[in-house]
A = this chain, B = another copy of it.
Amino acid sequence: MQIDIWSDIACPWCFIGKRRLESALEDFEHRDEVEVTWHSYQLDPSLPEHYDGTETEYLASRKGMPEEQVRQMFGHVAEQAAGEGLAYDFDALVVANSARAHELLHLAKERGVAGAVKEALLSGHFEHGADIGDVDTLVRVGVDAGLDEAEIRAALEDGRYRPSVEADVSAARHIGVTGVPFVVVDMKYAVSGAQPPEVFREVLQKAWAEQTPAIQVVGDGSGGDACGPDGCAV
């Protein structure tokens, strides 16, 4: 069973949704046959690579919202995050563009460690004030996941994974994704947003039950000339 997840790193509901899906997967009896693929999505490609103010200041200036209101929003989100065991720290959060972090994720995907890198990026960003726009931070995350430092630096330098990031974003547009997290099961059912684990559980069961049980051999099986271990039909 294939699960495709579009998500950003600078996306508080994406981390919460990740935990809720994981909680549903824990109870899912066929979890060992599930393959998760992370796809890139950028909520705000216009974000500066680095921004010296706080996330509160950034949102307040960008949206024209009173800082107090932004702080209340964060309080609500942090509460939901805490409910999933996540310790969001909006005061420490570093505002940064996630483009390069997505490039790192694609390198990680090629090397089979996308899950670990995604987790480290989300946790770093929301819980530990990590700057996901900073190359050295990304190198550390990648190396911790087993990637080669020289390869990470070279990839972030020459942008070899930019087309892969763009392909993900364009696939999201094609599918009709307008917000993230966006979880697609077997390219058949989608769960939009960080819904409760029960919703994920239901979709997993439904998609599993509908999987084609086996390949159906067309015709009576005798119509085609073939070669087998004992020789070829003539």
Which residue numbers of A lie inside 8 Å of B, CB to CB?
Answer: 8, 11-14, 16-17, 43-44, 59, 63, 73, 76-77, 80, 175-176, 178-182, 184, 187-196, 199, 202-203, 212, 215-219, 221, 223-229, 231-234
Residue in A181, A196, A203, A217 whose Cβ sees the most chain B Cβ within 10 Å: A217
Residue in A13, A44, A225 whose Cβ sees the most chain B Cβ within 10 Å: A225
Cross-interface CB contact of A13 among B192, B196, B233, cutoff 8 Å = B233
Known: A188-B216, A199-B219, A215-B175. A193 touches B232 (CB 8 A): no
Task: Please state the number of chain copies in the assembly.
Answer: 2
A92 → B minimal CB distance (Å): 18
Residue in A11, A14, A43, A199 whose Cβ sees the most chain B Cβ within 10 Å: A43
A22 → B minimal CB distance (Å): 15
Interface pairs A-B: 4 shortest CB-CB: A193-B224, A193-B226, A179-B228, A179-B226
* A191, B231: Cβ atoms closer than 8 Å: no
* A11, B227: Cβ atoms closer than 8 Å: yes
Known: A184-B215, A215-B189. A77 touches B232 (CB 8 A): yes
How distant is the Cα of A227 from the Cα of B212 in the complex, in angstroms?
34
Known: A188-B216, A215-B188. A232 touches B195 (CB 8 A): no
How distant is the Cα of A80 from the Cα of B219 in the complex, in angstroms?
21
